[in-house]
Amino acid sequence: MRKYVIMGVQGSGKGTQASKLCEAFGLEHISVGDIFRWNIAHHTKLGAQVRRLVDAGHLVSDDIVARVVRDRLEQHDWNHGFVVDGFPRNVPQAEFFLESYDIDAVIVLDLPDEEVERRVLSRRVCSQCGLDYNLIAHRPAVADVCDVCGGSLDQREDDTHEALARRLADYYAKTEPVIDVFGRKELVVRIDATPSKDEVFDAITDGLGLIQ
């Protein structure tokens, strides 16, 4: 059983790399962002709460994130292991995670702020079906029109220079101490997230000692 945490700023490809790891090694992808998006799409109470915070350019509170992850892990549907994406968010959560789940490694995707901004501000989402696009790596066949349903592509409300700057400042302030906690246990594997998706994935598997 393999149990990993993946960390990195927005735009570093956490979700993509977590999905590739899970597909290659039969792991369960536990994504805080996906859980929140499901709740927003299904108009739950949690979804409404998250939507208000996101629209204001804020991160969801640590308490909400911790509750969501604990509830998800208690389902115990991860027979071969998991990759947690978007948690832990602070030192107490990191210490709890270490004590409760015997983590094998923490993958940290490093990306310069300039590249974060370039990637994040290029994101678009279909207003009808919710499919994600990126004007750098995943352009629609017709500009501003979804390939699948023909809906209009919009920039996310929280993908602005000002909102991104707030999120980056919050991320660094909270995440570096978390990485230090894992680093003291020699669990951290730092990966340059600048190259292509496949190159980053190869670097991750090499760093974890995994054979594809």
Q: Which residues are catalytic?
A: 14, 89, 123, 156, 167
Give the whole-angstrom CA distance, residue 69 versus residue 127. 28
Contact assessment for residue 181 and residue 98, using Cβ atoms and an 8 Å cutoff? yes
Give the whole-angstrom CA distance, residue 105 versus residue 87. 13
153-154 β-sheet, strand order: 132-134, 123-126, 153-154
Tokens at 75, concatenated: 């389902």
For the chain, the residue count is 212
Contact assessment for residue 71 and residue 36, using Cβ atoms and an 8 Å cutoff? no
Cβ-Cβ contacts under 8 Å for 19 (sequence gap 6 or more): 29
